[in-house]
Structure 1
Amino acid sequence: MRFFSEIVVALTFPLALTLVLLALAGLVYALLKWRRVAFALAVVAIGWSAFWSLPRNAEWLRESLEDRYAVESPNVLPNADAIVVLGGGGYTWISRPGITLDDLKYSRLAQGARLYIAGRAPRVILSGGGEGDRTEARNMARGMRKFGVPENALLLEERSTDTTTNARYSAQIARANGIRSVLLVTSAIHMPRASVLFRGAGLQVIEVPVPEPRSVRGDSWADRWVPSGRALWRSGRALKEYAGLMAACFERKTA
């Protein structure tokens, strides 16, 4: 089952599906001599990647996920028993001198620190696995301490390898510490899937999405409609989230 899931995830990236369909078109033509079918498959294959390589199409797809939950200031959010910050993104800024929270608009970790400083919850669960002592959660803890979040407020979840296990193991830590409601912090595009999984794990969730930079740099025709590899990659991420969201909803209904 896991192998099948990994194949599905791989095919959500447009170029991967395009290559598979082109290979299939070649086989149809070589083995069956069905020229029209092979041609149609090839057109669909190329058109699929071409469509999602357009920056405006990539942003439209991403916005359909990102806009489900509003981005709010920590000061207007309700209180909860804990803040959960999911791993993801770079942490090179941790070692940079003079960095401030205002410099980190797109950082999940910085948003978690803002919530704690605003008094929204007394504890923070940092969720991210890894090998030995070099887990993502421990790296995240370094960043939290940099912004003044005390060590005794941090709970580290270091076993997870994906969003499903983020939810499972974070919920176990939450129950062990009497935590029922959480402010869930992750990127806006990832939030719909993460919210379903954390609710399915038995937690009361308040969604705190963190925005990501847009790929459409301006309003010119070229900025929106000239194909780019970046737009293709961003489309793939959104398609992956949709595949994961559908799987999470299905599993929750059949559980």
Structure 2
Amino acid sequence: MYFFFSKVLLIFIFPLTWVLVLLIVALVSKNKKRKYRSLVAALILLVLFTNPFLFNQFAQSWDVAPYKPDNRKYSCVIVLGGFSTGSDKGDGYFNTAADRFIQGTKLLSTGQASHLLITGGSGSLLPDEFREAIWVKKQLKEFNYPDSAILIESASRNTKENAKFSKVILDKAKLSPPYLLVTSAFHMRRSAMIFKNAGIVVVTYPANYLVRRKATISDLMPDASVLSSWNTYIREVVGYVANSI
């Protein structure tokens, strides 16, 4: 039940949802003052949440700083799922978060970590046969990574379960901490806290930065795609606060 509500309720705090609500109020309201105020509020929200400059400033303040290379060897690098998606044909494909996979395999290939743990099942609300970690293991086999270096956890549906189930696997494999934790930069703050609460000592290794550049004049122009990016970060902030309570 918690899993269901955590997915559905977020829809009601996304900026575009509020814009649509305000536009509906303006459309059906017979009060001229309320109609006008609703239209103005919708316009202000739309301008603010389609502004790349404002989004970039927030994103850079939220994202965890990049990993600083050291000479330490780690027993395992944990890569959180969410970088691949199941298709309607039953197989999968890498999505826009594939940098998580790239960075994780790089750490294994270069010898900075001796094992790679992929944690991720299905985060879909509807029944889904696609299990990300299982699919990813097949890809790793095609890249000739040895089975002895690969660990998978395919039952988790969210970050909290990622941590809970990963701990069982790490303890069973008797791999000593700390572990490198790889996930998207926007997701790292919440992930690191959840793994810490689960008793797993990690060193953060952010990947898939959405913003890593200087501001330009074009950032002052509205961009509809920024609305989707705000949804991603709002989801993280809400999740972080919820797990902090």
1:107 partner letter: D
Q: How far did 1:88 drift?
A: 2.0
Deviations 1:54-104 (A, max 9, x none): 1112212211222x322444xx26333311111123489xx99xxxxxxx9
Q: State the partner residue of 1:127.
A: 119
Aligned sequence identity (%): 26
Q: State the partner residue of 1:190.
A: 187
1:15 partner letter: L
Of 1-10 and 204-213, deviating more is 1-10
Gaps of at least 5 residues in structure 1 are 97-103, 251-255
Q: How far did 1:198 drift?
A: 1.1
Cα pair distance change 1:119/1:216, threshold 3 Å: closer
In the alignment, the residues of structure 2 paired with residue 43 and residue 168 of structure 1 have an alpha-carbon distance, to the nearest angstrom, of 46
Q: State the partner residue of 2:20.
A: 19
Gaps of at least 5 residues in structure 2 are 87-91, 123-127
Of 43-52 and 187-196, deviating more is 43-52
Q: State the partner residue of 2:53.
A: 56
Q: State the partner residue of 2:234.
A: 239
Deviations 1:132-188 (A, max 9, x none): 4x4211222233334443111111110112222212211221222223432110011
Matched residues, number? 231
Q: Where is the helix percentage greater, Structure 1 or Structure 2?
A: 1
Q: State the partner residue of 1:99.
A: none
In the alignment, the residues of structure 2 paired with residue 77 and residue 247 of structure 1 have an alpha-carbon distance, to the nearest angstrom, of 36
Cα pair distance change 1:24/1:198, threshold 3 Å: farther
Q: State the partner residue of 1:151.
A: 147
Q: State the partner residue of 2:169.
A: 173
In the alignment, the residues of structure 2 paired with residue 41 and residue 172 of structure 1 have an alpha-carbon distance, to the nearest angstrom, of 51
Q: State the partner residue of 1:46.
A: 43
Contact 1:13-1:237 within 8 A present in 2 as well: no
Instruction: Return the structure number with greater relative CO, CA threshold 8 A, min gap 6.
Output: 1
In the alignment, the residues of structure 2 paired with residue 129 and residue 106 of structure 1 have an alpha-carbon distance, to the nearest angstrom, of 16
In the alignment, the residues of structure 2 paired with residue 146 and residue 197 of structure 1 have an alpha-carbon distance, to the nearest angstrom, of 32
In the alignment, the residues of structure 2 paired with residue 166 and residue 64 of structure 1 have an alpha-carbon distance, to the nearest angstrom, of 25
In the alignment, the residues of structure 2 paired with residue 183 and residue 151 of structure 1 have an alpha-carbon distance, to the nearest angstrom, of 19
1:164 partner letter: K
Which TM-score applies when normalising by structure 2?
A: 0.80
Q: How far did 1:37 drift?
A: 4.7
Contact 2:82-2:97 within 8 A present in 1 as well: no
Which TM-score applies when normalising by structure 1?
A: 0.77
In the alignment, the residues of structure 2 paired with residue 201 and residue 60 of structure 1 have an alpha-carbon distance, to the nearest angstrom, of 31
Give 3-state SS (helix, strand or coil) of 1:160's partner: coil
